[in-house]
Chains A and B, each alone.
Chain A
Amino acid sequence: MPRLHLGDWVDSGVDWLVAHLSWLFDAIRAVVEGMYDGIDAVLTAPEPLLLAGILAVAAWWLRGLVAGVLAFAGFALVDSLDLWDRAMSTLALVLVATVIALVISVPLGIWAARSKAVSAAVRPVLDLLQTMPSMVLLIPAILFFGLGTAAGVIATLIFALAPGVRMTELGIRQVDAELVEAAEAFGTTPRDILLRVQLPLALPTIMAGVNQVIMLGLSMVVIAGMVGTGGLGGAVNEAIGRLDIGFGFEAGVGIVVLAIYLDRMTGALGTQLSPLGRRAAAKARTTAWSYRLRPQVAVVGVVVLALVAGGMGIFGSSAGTSQAAATNVGKGKEIKIGYIPWDEGIASTFLWKELLEERGFKVTTTQYAAGPLYTGLATGQLDFQTDSWLPTTHAEYWTKYGKQLDDLGKWYGPTSLELSVPSYVKDVNSLADLKDHASEFGGKIVGIEPSAGMMGLLKKKVLKEYGLEGTYDVVDGSTPAMLAELKRAYARKQPVVVTLWSPHWAYSDYGLKKLKDPRGAWGKGDGVHTLARKGFASDNPRAAQWLKDFSMTEKQLTGLEAQIQKSGKGREQDAVRTWLKQHPGLVDTWAPVAREGAKSRAAG
């Protein structure tokens, strides 16, 4: 068989699109982000509990008293978990994606219902959109729309489109042919047949589709979190990245609350919208539990709460903090830092957030998966990131995007890659010892993401060097999975071999042995580099210079990492502040403010 270069074609197709249709993507991006910002602003403006009240009144109206009370309880729970802003951001994202998905899918479904050819053409496209692994679509989405909301919305949208189209088509096709014929027989125009017969009768099915669109959208937010949409999806990703089961669960509960609320509300809305459903609901017996607000009362309630919310939003706005003029280098200039949820990445990112804010910059930090992070940096969506392992681990990304990036140099190193075993495994001290203990370890080496540079190195070089091919299988997985497996085995004192690297907090949490590499198969260690987008250095010469001069010792880094671990999730910057207080002078060392006569020193 000749090799089809499908991948190359896709590559060049994507390149062509980026080169020639960027105006279109920018326009879409502007629309999507505008919608998102608008909805998010509305959702986050009022006090959380007030908005919870508004949502509860809506539930009371649509479904009854119990639903209202439960809705309020659910949203209060989200607020008490400190997830309110994230939840609202996720809600806004899902709403935007849903609205756009419906705007596209309902007309498409109608068209498909009326034309067999369209139906036949649309179906495989929907299959593709729905089953293509989402990460495969996510990266091009970043290339087209940049990191952030737009890409997240588009990715969600693509995934959620299919049920909207399918259910609309099905709903319309299900309408009794005799009814359509009856309408025709009385001289109804095709447009009126659609609007007055088919759509009203298809409405319950279409609403089931809307419901599915929302549910699939919510299930995509975690993946969308990888491209920096933040929200609950971002929280889940952060938690997974750090094996923080508790926080992950909390964020997951937040998603569940949203999902249940939206599911029940759209279901009830479907009944309210369709005349048949309204009639059935009116017939049902009314009890105190299922007593529903009259629409007028509900509207009045929502309006009153919304007015209160608006008022408090106005009076509750807080004043910004002012900066001392001497140290105010940034003058409010915005800098965007992206990071991978690796510990040294988090530590250095929040360290620099604190340092730059001290110096008057406005800093936003967003977490990404490695691929989107590099893509975002290369396309100029982000200003810099501090956690690039070069030349080995991130070699692939460097080859692909190196030309569009500035290397601001290494701030920590050397790092090392290794296989490690718990220290209770007695006789295994070196890679060479592994061969004879294969059965002890079940012939398994617990790996991380197959895309990681060290996995390639391990499979292609290290195993061969020590003759472990055939005796060991490298288990592909993910870093959290590897850490979870290590934790499990460690608790039971079972032998286990994991792929690890230094620095890593696992070495301080567990008693681990790095297996010696007498043949040097892992190569020399990487340095942890700071990479900036092209042009960052000329836009922010001072900050770039600080970053170039930046370096940390292992003691400093592990100390800071430990402080962050101790402080817990969401308090990274507090931890950085505490740590900086314990180490006075570091701020001025790492971000020297140009005083009279000090300029030459900074330049030199």
Chain B
Amino acid sequence: MSSRLQAEHLFKVFGRRPDQAVERLRQGADREELRADGTTAAVIDASFAVEAGEIFVVMGLSGSGKSTLLRMLNGLLEPTAGQVRFDGQDLTALTDRALRELRSKKISMVFQHFALFPHRSVRDNAAYGLDVQGVPRAERERRADEALALCGLAGWEDSWPDELSGGMQQRVGLARALATDADLLLMDESFSALDPLIRRDMQDQLLELQKTLKKTIVVITHDLNEAMRLGDRIAVMRDGRIVQTGTAEDILLRPANDYVASFIQDVDRSRVLTAAAVMDTEVSGDEANCGCETATPDTPFAELCAISARLTHPVAVLDADRALVGVVPRQRLVGFLGDEQGEPAACENGGKVIARA
């Protein structure tokens, strides 16, 4: 119960007689059966917990129910069944007023299409949440300017949203969410409307901010690469259900089913995997003795390849105490890229090179 945010058996059904529909879903009915009756099950039996300071990513294709799930976390949508606990407090039991209070102070949100108020200046947009709380003008403008500076928008305070590029607009959206000092940040496909380079920048910036701010963040995305980059843990949704929850490596290396497996096919593994996932832990003990370059379990895959290319032998992986925890032979690196984890078979030629590239 120590988790900052906890979702317990959440259901959200749109349409008539939602309670009956939940009952049927509990008994194993699927989405299609309900659709025939004109009801839509957006979220089915979703449970997860988010720890303080964690970035939790909910990933799924459009229509998988991830946006609906997110809106239940701050009470914009009321769950048909189940509970949302935030700091041990049940959101579903709160009055509208208390819920608004909570949203204005503790939970903020960043939107897919930025949702900046076109009739407010950049500063007034960033100050919106504080404005709602009733913070005096001078203070809220100071805090808004701070949040804008944090997001790299110092000097743009008096501009108007339509004068900014998409990336800058989303920075304003982020600043608006950060200005209230809310503990929980909900991000609804916040970067998916940006072009790829800007998206990368924004992801980096979010990770950079998170190092100092340590917010609890729930990110919704349909982009698996983004999920892998941002998420401490990832929940994969399909047709309203969460099909797998785990770290990026869990999902990449141990997909729970064929759906997740097919999903991760296109993922650029070299960005996600680290030495810890690739290394051979059956070590003999002498690989670290030569004084060559070594890696740590956190060393990214790409860097590992670079080290490996400079060495003639497998790369040694040392932990924080410089104790050997594993080795990475070059063949293993190549195997992971090609999704081939078996041992190499001997060649008929007895190993002689017969072809030159």
| Chain A contacts to B: CB under 8 angstroms | 176, 178-179, 181-189, 192, 197, 200-201, 274-276, 279
Contacts and interface: CB of A to CB of B under 8 A. Distances in A.
A201 B129 CA distance: 18
A187 B115 contact: no
Interface string B151-163: 0000000001000
Contacts of B133: 187
30 contacts: A176-B113, A176-B115, A178-B111, A181-B111, A181-B115, A182-B109, A182-B111, A183-B128, A185-B76, A185-B107, A185-B108, A185-B186, A186-B104, A186-B129, A186-B132, A186-B176, A186-B180, A187-B102, A187-B104, A187-B105, A187-B129, A187-B133, A188-B100, A188-B104, A189-B100, A192-B132, A200-B119, A201-B117, A201-B118, A276-B119
B51 interface: no
A208 to B, nearest CB: 17
A387 to B, nearest CB: 59
A192 B129 CA distance: 12
Contact of A178 (B104, B113, B176, B180): B113
B111 A276 contact: no
B223 interface: no
Q: Which 9 A-B pairs have the closest CB atoms?
A: A187-B104, A182-B115, A187-B103, A185-B109, A187-B100, A178-B115, A275-B119, A186-B129, A200-B119
B2 to A, nearest CB: 26
B107 to A, nearest CB: 8
Contacts of B64: none
Contacts of A184: 76, 103
Contact of A201 (B112, B115, B119, B160): B119
A191 B76 CA distance: 16
A181 B112 CA distance: 12
Contacts of B118: 201, 276
A188 B132 contact: yes
B99 to A, nearest CB: 8
Contacts of A179: 115, 117
Contacts of A274: 119
Nearest to B182: A186
Looking at A178, A179, A182, A276, which has the most chain B CB atoms within 10 Å of its CB?
A182
Interface string B86-125: 0000000000000011111101110111010111100000
Nearest to B97: A189
Nearest to B107: A185
Contacts of A182: 109, 111, 115, 117
Interface of B: 74, 76, 100-105, 107-109, 111-113, 115, 117-120, 128-129, 132-133, 160, 176, 180, 186
A201 B118 CA distance: 8
Nearest to A200: B119
Contacts of A192: 132
A176 B76 CA distance: 16
Contacts of B74: 185
Contacts of B113: 176, 178
B101 A187 contact: yes
A181 B102 contact: no
Given A181-B111, A197-B117, A276-B118, A186 B160 contact: no
B124 to A, nearest CB: 10
A185 B129 CA distance: 9
B115 A186 contact: no
Given A181-B115, A187-B103, 16 more contacts: A178-B111, A178-B112, A178-B115, A179-B117, A181-B111, A182-B115, A184-B103, A185-B108, A186-B180, A187-B101, A187-B102, A188-B100, A192-B132, A197-B117, A275-B119, A276-B118
A114 to B, nearest CB: 15
A213 B176 CA distance: 39
Contacts of B112: 178
Contacts of B105: 187
A185 B103 contact: yes
Nearest to A201: B119
A438 B102 CA distance: 87
Nearest to B103: A187
Nearest to B173: A182
Contacts of A185: 74, 76, 103, 107-109, 111, 186
Given A178-B113, A181-B76, A182-B111, A187 B119 contact: no
Contacts of A181: 76, 111, 115
A275 B160 CA distance: 11
Nearest to A189: B100
A317 B115 CA distance: 60
Contacts of B104: 186-188
A286 B119 CA distance: 23
B168 to A, nearest CB: 17
